[in-house]
Amino acid sequence: MHAAWTPPPRRQEGVAGAAADMPQARHPGPPVLDQAFDAGSLFRLRAAVAAHAAALGAGEAAYDVVLIAHELSSNAVRHGGGTGRLHLWSDADRIMCRVTDSGPGLADGAGRGDDLPSPQVPGGRGLWIVRRLAAVRVVTGASGTTITAAIPIPSGANRGGPAPAHDRNGRN
């Protein structure tokens, strides 16, 4: 007997409370990556995101960061006017990826991507995937869209900080 598969829930950050769950509206310092893109430069954007996510200590989560960056930036190309800008930075335990465009905006930004479309429907899964991997905040209107994804860094990842003073046997 196999248990029925149910999709993983929408990712929420660990802290209780809707406001605390959402990625910060402003980033604390300068982003480590601030790159404009269009349809012809998504490959360059993915390469830059991969390199910076690794340098920020994302570990295995770097794959998720690149996938999310690609889905959000290709949405800006396809639905959001054709060009956009990506910012990447980190806080204590998350990589933050923000994509901004100047397109026409989308209806139901807060809920878009909550439900998996039926198999007969072509497309429409990008935001669903992003919401499985990250806490997402959508700010959208007639002059553009900004989507911020907060991707958790696995606790075992090497954040590039100072080497521990002792090895696992307690020796220096």
Ligand X SMILES: Nc1ncnc2c1ncn2[C@@H]1O[C@H](COP(=O)(O)OP(=O)(O)O)[C@@H](O)[C@H]1O
Q: Which is nearer to Mg ion, 71 or 96 (CB)?
A: 71
Residue nearest to ligand X (CB): 126
Adjacency order of strands within the sheet including 83-90: 33-38, 83-90, 94-101, 144-152, 135-141
Question: CB of 127: closest distance to ligand X in angstroms?
Answer: 4
Helix, strand or coil for residue 24? coil
Strand 94-101 relative to strand 83-90, pairing: antiparallel
127 lines the binding site for ligand X (CB under 6 A): yes
Distance from C-alpha of 122 to C-alpha of 146, rounded to nearest angstrom? 24
Q: How far is the CB of 104 from ligand X (least distance, A)?
A: 6
Report 55-114 residues binding ligand X (CB under 6 A).
71, 75-76, 78-80, 101, 103, 105-106, 112-113
80 interface partner picked from Mg ion, ligand X, none, CB below 5 to 8 A per type: ligand X
Alpha helices in the chain (DSSP H): 18-21, 42-55, 61-79, 126-133
Nearest residue to Mg ion on Cβ basis: 126
Three-state secondary structure of 46-68? HHHHHHHHHHCCCCCHHHHHHHH
95 within 8 A of 66, measured Cβ to Cβ: no
Closest separation between CB of residue 139 and ligand X, Å? 11
The count of other CB atoms within 10 Å of the CB of residue 8 is 9
Using CB under 6 A as the binding criterion, the count of chain residues that bind ligand X stands at: 19
The single residue among 8, 40, 123, 161 that binds ligand X, judged by CB under 6 A, is 123
76: partner contacted, choices ligand X, Mg ion, none (Cβ within 5-8 A by kind): ligand X
Contacts with Mg ion by CB under 5 A lie at 75, 126
Contacts with ligand X by CB under 6 A lie at 71, 75-76, 78-80, 101, 103, 105-106, 112-113, 123-128, 145
